Amino acid sequence: MRAALRAFGELGVTAGVVVLLFCAYLLWGTGAYTVQQQTALRKQLLKEFRKKEPAKLGPVRLGGAMALLRIPKFGRDYRYAVVEGVGAEQLRMGPGHYPGSAMPGKAGNFVLSGHRTTYAAPFNRIGELRRGDDIVVDAREARYTYHVTGTRVVDPTEVDVIAPVPGKPGRKPTDALITLSTCHPEYSAAQRLIVFGELDSTEDRRG
């Protein structure tokens, strides 16, 4: 009996170590992949930004860099290249743009999704955003500054929050809006945390 209990205890310790290592991988190991991808994507964007006449932002391939996201409230080091697409592969690279939603600065809803706890957790702190906080999107042709207008926690089935006019599916948009979406609460996908914003200013790069 003692031998069996000892073996069971040792097995439990081993299982605990395996679980801890797996959790460490989810929190830090996956982040290393995202950091590597982000380094390459940001270099690509910054190279295009330095051109005297950056190309107008058009269709972007899935996984391609389309803009640089900055949130001043989170400090100078907070900057992520936004990729086209919100599939598992794209979101491992960084925040993703919902295909078919508005492009930066355009009328409609520029919708972004991002991880909250793994793959560098780009949207880990968006719950700290408050009305009036800035969200800056650097695209090839211009810098767009949005200000936060509100937040909501919704069920995954409430997809009208990413409609061209959030909460009013079918209505034609006239304003340039932004929506950030991530899982809620942390370490769970039971609900979604949504941050809404609207365009406040535009700084043209081509002038």
- Which residue among 92, 116, 140, 192 is the active-site one? 192
- Which residue among 70, 92, 115, 116 is the active-site one? 115
The span from the CA of 108 to the CA of 20, in Å, is 44
CB 112 within 8 A of CB 146: no
Active site residue 192: yes
Active site residue 206: no
Active site residue 92: no
187: left (phi over 0), alpha (psi -120 to 50) or beta: left
Q: Which amino acid is at 121?
A: A
Q: Which residues pair with 82 in a beta bridge?
A: 67
- Which residue among 70, 140, 183, 184 is the active-site one? 183
Q: How far is CA 66 from CA 10, 73, 79, 110, in A?
A: 51, 22, 13, 12
Tokens at 26, concatenated = 């989810």
Which distant-in-sequence residues (6+ apart) come within 8 Å of 68 by Cβ?
42, 45, 46, 49, 79, 80, 81, 82, 137, 138
Active site residues: 115, 183, 192
